[in-house]
Amino acid sequence: MKALIISADHFEDTELLVPYYRLKEEGFEVDVASISRGKINGKHGYEVSVDKALRDVHAKDYDILVLPGGKAPAALRKELAALEIVKDFFRSNKPVAAICHGPQLLVTAGVIKDRHATCYHSVAEELKEAGALYEDSEVVVDGNLVTSRQPSDLPAFMRETLRMASKIVH
């Protein structure tokens, strides 16, 4: 099983690293994709190696998508390749897990309308304007979508993300 994490510089460190290592613990092969290869740096100083440039990612090669928050989603939402990956996951009804500012990518990709979701409080109005059914909860699950608000929600976020991942059958 393969997981894809899409991020960029200024990601929220724990929101990338906790899913990365928890998915690995569950036996997933995990790739980190970004605008270009090399390294990306978190808001709190962690450095993560990028396995693939967005343009080289094929959603069909992955079983689950994780979208960490921080300031990275603001940069990623300007990248057509990132938006196409998100749309491909939704078209295929594959699991997508987005936390904090991660749902901004769902807004820009146009996949959040009529979906129950949560996000960081400063993004809530944007989600509502995009037609999401916003809930201020530590974790919200709607079909193939898992969303959470902030780093303190990571235990609930990972519990539901791993529950969804466990349903992936090959």
Residue 107's region, left for phi above 0, alpha for psi from -120 to 50, else beta, is alpha
- Pick the catalytic residue from 44, 101, 121, 170: 101
* Catalytic status, residue 121: no
Question: Residue 102 and residue 119: Cα distance in Å, rounded?
Answer: 8
120: closest CA among 137, 132, 133? 137
Q: What phi, psi does 149 have (nearest 5°)?
A: -90, -40
Distances (CA, A) of 133 to 139, 141, 152, 156: 13, 12, 22, 19
Question: Residue 73 and residue 113: Cα distance in Å, rounded?
Answer: 18
- Return the H-helix or E-strand segment holding 5: strand 2-6
Question: Residue 96 and residue 93: Cα distance in Å, rounded?
Answer: 9
Q: Which residues are catalytic?
A: 101
